A = this chain, B = another copy of it.
Amino acid sequence: MSHAHPELALPKPLEPGALRIVPLGGLGEVGRNMAVFEYDGRLLIVDCGVLFPEDHQPGVDLILPDFSYLDGRLDDIEAIVLTHGHEDHIGAVPYLLRLRGDIPLVGSRLTLAFLDAKLREHRLTPHPVQVSEGASIELGPFALEFVAVNHSIPDALAVAVTTGAGTVLHTGDFKMDQLPLDGRITDLREFARLGERGVDLFMVDSTNAEVPGFTTSEREIGPVLDQVFGNATGRLVVASFSSHVHRVQQVLDAAWAHRRRVALVGRSMVRNMTIAAELGYLTVPDGVLIDVKKVDSLPPDEVVLMCTGSQGEPMAALSRIANRDHRVSVGPGDTVVLASSLIPGNENAVFRVINGLMRLGAQVIHQGNARVHVSGHASAGELLYAYNIVRPRNVMPVHGEVRHLVANGALAVKTGVDPDRVVLAEDGVVVDLVDGRARIAGAVPCGYVYVDGSSVGEITDAELKDRRILAEEGFISVFAVVDSSSGAVVAGPQVHARGLAESDAVLAEIIPEVTRALAEAAAGGVADTHQLQQVMRRVVGRWASNRLRRRPMIIPVVVES
């Protein structure tokens, strides 16, 4: 398997008849999935999602793919194909549409409906092209065929992209539940037909490539929920992802069977389930839904709260219930079900919520003690089926951290794919399909683009480093007013600090030291404010290091008067 090296150069111009694929996100991370296909001067984008920040990226709301590769080429884009409606596949579309608003958006009915709701929040008007499994469309030099795949959201699609360079089959996110709730299986007959015709490059979801065996069927959760609901004597709270239509369906069904009403809680839960119900993806038994405001008027054993916050998000309903900061309370005899995965990195937050709920006396059921969640991604066993059915000429694992991509590549090799034809690329690494052979052709700049409040791409890693220093060490600002001619201090120095432990009395120790240093500097003829600021920085820095054993950020300011 060929690994991309950080020393890669910019790629050469694309040869005629060759296809270029530039992953701008999702390769080397779980999120912000986006791939740019180029053929004959035209571009096709598959997915355009967001990545959620980690703790070392404080204050960041979202992370986008780096669109700078598209600079000057926006008019070459034929369309954005959206494989399904999850945030990590559609969440960055509004930001790309800000650069060019009329890019056609190709996707299934539910995917486009979820996207439409998002775009309306951004006050953007989409140009949708609705497709479904079995559809074939042509966009410039790209012939697209869509294949049904099964995932943790309905109406997901794989897409086959055929150009003069051959056929690329991109799975999107998928698993191969053989008995899905909606009967819509990943269409392996179509995978087989495409394989028979010839798949030159197979781009395959890597998320669960490290997980041995097969992902359990969503259907197996129903009986577990039924048992939990049957045993519950008090209030029931179920938390899950707000896009997981089938999971919510199972909760509605269990509630109905056990004569409970369901209140949907959380803005995204209400919005998505309203869409899903309107389009017929969610079947809502008549009268099962109630408004959350009515929950307290019903006996505890007649209600279910279906809410967000399964990842311990502090502002979501579940955290607030655990902190007794929500209109709905839970206590002894009540049951809370986390019908969701525990996304790595969220452990502390989730366990904080679980501990809070248990402290209140509630019983908490989660994937650690009951089968109340199954993954939406194909495990290693399923991936082997996919490789054996498609028999691709080249393989490019997508969607995952390095460990996932490597594991997925190893599975391809096990099924007989030539290791030299398994391309392990990370974001920005350019892969060309030339003469039926996929090869790394170079790399393009591809950084993290941070959304923070109203700013997009303005926060850099330097600011994030500043923020981490501020968080870990705090800051000391010190300023003085000096006479513009003599450099003598006429007011101050004053010291302010935040994030430090020290009292004002301790900080006051700095003042005589700074005063002395400024006097010495002035006596030595230094009157330039910049130089005086450097003097203050040195004195305060040395003091903090010696006296506090800390290295706070130091902001020295000298004003001339």
Contacts and interface: CB of A to CB of B under 8 A. Distances in A.
Contacts of A460: 501
A471 B474 contact: no
Interface in A452-494: 452-455, 458-460, 463, 466-468, 470-475, 477, 479, 481, 490-492, 494
B479 A355 contact: no
A498 B553 contact: yes
A452 B550 contact: yes
A504 interface: no
A441 B344 CA distance: 40
A499 B467 CA distance: 5
B471 A58 contact: yes
A547 B453 CA distance: 10
Contacts of A557: 477, 479, 494, 496
B474 A467 contact: yes
Interface in A340-391: 344-345, 347-348, 351, 354-356, 358-359, 361, 364, 368-369
A178 interface: no
Contact of A548 (B364, B455, B491): B455
A332 B358 CA distance: 47
Contacts of A463: 474, 498-501
B499 A470 contact: yes
Interface of A: 3, 28, 54-56, 58-59, 210, 344-345, 347-348, 351, 354-356, 358-359, 361, 364, 368-369, 401-403, 406, 426, 450, 452-455, 458-460, 463, 466-468, 470-475, 477, 479, 481, 490-492, 494, 496, 498-503, 547-550, 553, 555, 557, 559-561
28 contacts: A55-B55, A55-B348, A58-B471, A59-B473, A210-B368, A344-B347, A351-B401, A355-B401, A355-B403, A358-B402, A358-B406, A452-B501, A452-B550, A453-B549, A458-B502, A460-B501, A463-B498, A466-B499, A467-B499, A468-B471, A470-B471, A470-B474, A470-B475, A471-B471, A477-B555, A481-B561, A491-B560, A496-B555
A6 to B, nearest CB: 9
Contact of A501 (B369, B458, B498): B458
Contacts of A54: 348
A58 to B, nearest CB: 4
Nearest to A4: B359
Contacts of A549: 453-454
Given A58-B471, A59-B499, A470-B499, 9 more contacts: A3-B359, A3-B361, A59-B472, A453-B550, A455-B548, A458-B502, A475-B498, A479-B559, A491-B559
Contacts of A55: 55, 348
Nearest to A484: B491
Contacts of A467: 470-472, 474, 498-499
Given A491-B560, A559-B492, A498 B466 contact: yes
Contacts of A496: 477, 555, 557
- Give the one of A453, A459, A471 with max B CB within 10 A: A471
Contacts of A344: 347-348, 351
Contact of A455 (B472, B499, B501): B501
Contacts of A468: 58, 471
A376 B459 CA distance: 44
Contacts of A492: 559
Nearest to A369: B210
Smallest CB-CB A-B distances: 4 pairs: A458-B501, A471-B471, A58-B471, A59-B472
Contact of A561 (B355, B550, B561): B561
Given A472-B59, A498-B470, A555-B477, A351 B453 contact: no
A355 B27 CA distance: 12
Nearest to A324: B6
Contacts of A358: 402-403, 406
- Give the one of A348, A453, A460 with max B CB within 10 A: A453
